Amino acid sequence: MRQKQRIGIMGGTFDPIHFGHLVTAEAARHRFDLTKVIFVPSGHPPHKQNRPVTPGAERLMMTLLATVANAHFVVSPWEVDRPQMSYTYDTMQAFHREYGEQAELFFITGADAVLEIMQWRKIDELIDFCSFIAATRPGYRLDGAALSHKLAEKVALMEVPALAISSSDIRHRVRQGEPIKYLLPETVEMYIYKHGLYQKAE
């Protein structure tokens, strides 16, 4: 019998994608023996409406550039292509339908986002077919006790090298004329400068 596929989904705004995201995805792939990791840049992120987010096509392009060197990484335009706002539930449901019962789905997230998961739309339905891999991130402590019992069973913690890299810091640096080299792939850095991203105040 064919072994079940184990598929990681890495969701994010990726504005821009950086080494924190890539290290986390690769650590999850290795640790949890994932067949592949699908990066899914968000469409209209519900929690980031307070600042203008770079158009989906450009975030998608940067995500593609950042992942070409890893044979296990793929990028999905699923959320970017949808005109309406996507909730993680909708996205995971779409992948669940696509891969069927023969695949196990793992949503990879930073530990800073784990406590928010409980507030997600249709979380009870989501955890019926999806597990979570939560990467520890500097400055955030994950208090397992704060998770609901049912969710705690579905969340696996994973330590990743402490990378204090964030997209907001990178955007800030670009605006200030500070270097961003070595914080993200060189191709993404070149894309940012070539297209004049992050020059204006947010």
Q: Is 160 in the site for ligand ATP (CB under 6 A)?
A: yes
DSSP 91: H
Residue pair 54/197 in contact (Cβ under 8 Å)? The answer is yes
Query: Which residue has the CB atom at the shortest distance from ligand ATP?
Result: 110
Binding residue count for ligand ATP, defined by CB under 6 A? 19
For ligand ATP, the binding residue among 133, 135, 184, 188 (CB under 6 A) is 135
Element (H or E) spanning 20, and its range?
helix 19-31
Question: Quick one: the chain helix, strand, coil %, rounded to 5?
Answer: 45, 20, 40
197 scored as a contact of ligand ATP (CB under 6 A): no
**CA angle, 86 then 164 then 202, to 5°:** 55
Residues 167-186, one symbol each (x = binds ligand ATP by CB under 6 A, - = not), give xx------------------
Q: Shortest Cβ distance from residue 3 to ligand ATP (Å)?
A: 27
State yes or no: residue 110 binds ligand ATP (CB under 6 A).
Answer: yes
**11-30: which residues touch ligand ATP (CB under 6 A)?**
12-15, 20-21, 24
In 10 A of CB 173, how many CB atoms?
15
Contact call for residue 137 and ligand ATP (CB under 6 A): yes
Q: Is 86 exposed, middle or buried (0-12, 13-18, 19+ CB in 10 A)?
A: buried
| Residues binding ligand ATP (CB under 6 A) | 12-15, 20-21, 24, 109-110, 112-113, 135, 137, 160, 163, 165-168
